[in-house]
Structure 1
Amino acid sequence: MTRSLVMKNGRIGYDTRAVGENVSLVFDKPEIVSIIGPNGSGKSTVLKTLGRLLQPLGGTVYLDGKDIHGMNSKAVARIISMLPQSAQAPADMTVRDLVMCGRLPYQNPFSSLTTEDVAAVQTALEETGLVELQHRPLKDLSGGERQRAWLVMAVAQEPDILLLDEPTTFLDVRYQLELMKLVVKLHRTRGITVIMVLHDLNHAAHFSDRLIAVKKGNIVADGPVADIFTEPVLSDLYEVQMVFTELKINGVTHNICVPYESR
């Protein structure tokens, strides 16, 4: 089922402090979208507002045409799964126990896992290659393995929309690449809409269908990668000069940008 997530005239921020005004965004088809912009520009605030972690100070977020803040929390959690920055869990919790937490939106208080829950957990573990690590405590995992475990928990939730806040932060290049490839795989096999905040512009360009550029709380550009990943847009967004080039690797074209400081 294709879901619709819309922010209309959003005034976003914290308590009474607004970060952005008149933020309007539409997500109405399965795609991978990256939100980019300088530090402190409001990227994570946009994501948290879309994910119902923050209530807009003005305007409305609609999920399938309904005000998301008027909806039942479990109903929303069965559609939207969000992986925030620096997610925390008890260090001795195993991977499988963490992944099972993704089934909470489908359970009643004091109920046990159903056959459907167990199947969803097992499928998520198999699909993401974590079966062999499922009984390992989180404290014994590498940073990349731990981040993948959190992503698997979100997948076990069986969402139609997956929100990721800087999922590659603190990961080395190998684990960054593995995580991004996994996100693409999940999008393609499950038809999930993925909306994520990314700092790595080259990852954003290569793995996304659409880019949203945020600066000082405002949406300054929104469109296909080819329209946004350009020198005029990104140099203005980050206030630094950039050079762009193309590389062909194993028959795949990679668009690359490199920032530089003029002398």
Structure 2
Amino acid sequence: MLIAEGITKLYGGKKILDGIHLRLERGEFLGLLGPNGSGKSTLVKCLTGEERPDAGTIWLEGKELFSYSRKERAQKIAVLPQEGMEPVPFTVEEVVMMGRYPYQGKWSWLEAADREMVNRVLQETGIDHLSGRFVHHLSGGERQRVALAKTMAQEPELLVLDEPTTYLDIRYQCHLLELIRSWQERKQLTVLIILHDINLAAQYCDRLLLLKEGKLVQSGKPEEVIQPTVIEEVYGVKPLVIRHPQLQVPQILLPSERKSVSLFQQTKG
């Protein structure tokens, strides 16, 4: 669905992306990993048309990405930024309706089908009971669900998420990723997601790309990418890699210099 060849991007003469090649298949759930400053967000901005690369080409469904108009791209690609939904003074329903903008004609009113779509999305994301509340009165987790609902109302073919779980507790992290995975499976949606949590990436992504200093270090299935030597090369720590007892995907435990303390020693102390 999306092909990028030789993507290079410079800021102030510094090379942030260095000849990145990737292929994203329709219906795939692809995770983008790497330490801070590795170029993940810059790559996403190029792949979604927000910024032009200094070198390289991007094709979306066989057509050069920048040959699409902004509105045409919005019908194909929806982006959920790291910040999620700002605490804007609009109701939840109004914000979700904004997701229908790419399909509106010269006049801005919504058709009955648009309203039906919005109502369905509110129900699917479990926020229909919040529809009349103002977004700036909601919690961070609730606002993130509103942001996701807005992208769902957009009916994209490709959903791009930039660290969507950063400001969420573990309950909302799991809930958000389960919503995305369920939506992806029902609609054969293609998903590209930036995550810092390697364990979550292994649990939800079909394939992983690992960046370091603007270069692609490793790509493949989670078990091919999450290897102690690879993680050490990219992050500078050599983890213990184990298997998730239910999903059988690799999970990492970080090393520690501390010695284990027995329950007896804790109690005695």
TM-score under structure 2 length normalisation: 0.91
Unmatched runs of 5 consecutive residues or more in structure 2 = 259-269
Q: Residue in 2 aligned with 1:241?
A: 238
Q: Deviations over 1:164-221 (max 9, x none)?
A: 0000011111111111111111111111111010001110001110000000001111
Q: Residue in 2 aligned with 1:256?
A: 251
In structure 1, what is the Cα distance between the partners aligned to 2:12 and 2:132? 41
Q: Residue in 1 aligned with 2:133?
A: 136
In structure 1, what is the Cα distance between the partners aligned to 2:167 and 2:104? 33
In structure 2, what is the Cα distance between the partners aligned to 1:177 and 1:97? 26
Q: Secondary structure at the match of 2:17?
A: strand
Q: Secondary structure at the match of 1:81?
A: strand
Confirm whether residue 101 of structure 1 aligns to residue 95 of structure 2. Answer: no
Confirm whether residue 157 of structure 1 aligns to residue 154 of structure 2. Answer: yes
TM-score under structure 1 length normalisation: 0.93
In structure 1, what is the Cα distance between the partners aligned to 2:199 and 2:184? 19
Stretch deviating more after TM superposition (13-22 or 181-190): 13-22
Among 53, 56, 74, the alignment partner of 2:50 is: 53
1:70-149 correspondence runs (5 A): 70-89=67-86, 91-149=88-146
Note closer, same or farther for the CA distance 1:9–1:252 as it changes in structure 2 (3 Å cut). Answer: closer
1:235 CA drift (Å): 1.7
1:247 CA drift (Å): 3.7
Note closer, same or farther for the CA distance 1:219–1:123 as it changes in structure 2 (3 Å cut). Answer: same
Q: Residue in 1 aligned with 2:216?
A: 219
What is the RMSD of the two structures over their aligned residues, measured on CA atoms? 1.6
In structure 1, what is the Cα distance between the partners aligned to 2:10 and 2:112? 41
Note closer, same or farther for the CA distance 1:15–1:74 as it changes in structure 2 (3 Å cut). Answer: farther
* Percent pairwise identity: 36
Q: Deviations over 1:11-58 (max 9, x none)?
A: 124475430121111112211111000001001111111111111111
Note closer, same or farther for the CA distance 1:247–1:111 as it changes in structure 2 (3 Å cut). Answer: closer
In structure 1, what is the Cα distance between the partners aligned to 2:13 and 2:187? 39
1:121 CA drift (Å): 1.0
Q: Deviations over 1:69-113 (max 9, x none)?
A: 121111111111011121454532111111111111011243200
Unmatched runs of 5 consecutive residues or more in structure 1 = none
Aligned residues: 258
In structure 2, what is the Cα distance between the partners aligned to 1:28 and 1:91? 35
In structure 1, what is the Cα distance between the partners aligned to 2:13 and 2:66? 18
Q: Residue in 1 aligned with 2:21?
A: 24
Note closer, same or farther for the CA distance 1:130–1:13 as it changes in structure 2 (3 Å cut). Answer: farther
Q: Secondary structure at the match of 1:62?
A: strand
In structure 2, what is the Cα distance between the partners aligned to 1:90 and 1:177? 22
Q: Secondary structure at the match of 2:159?
A: strand
Q: Secondary structure at the match of 1:175?
A: helix
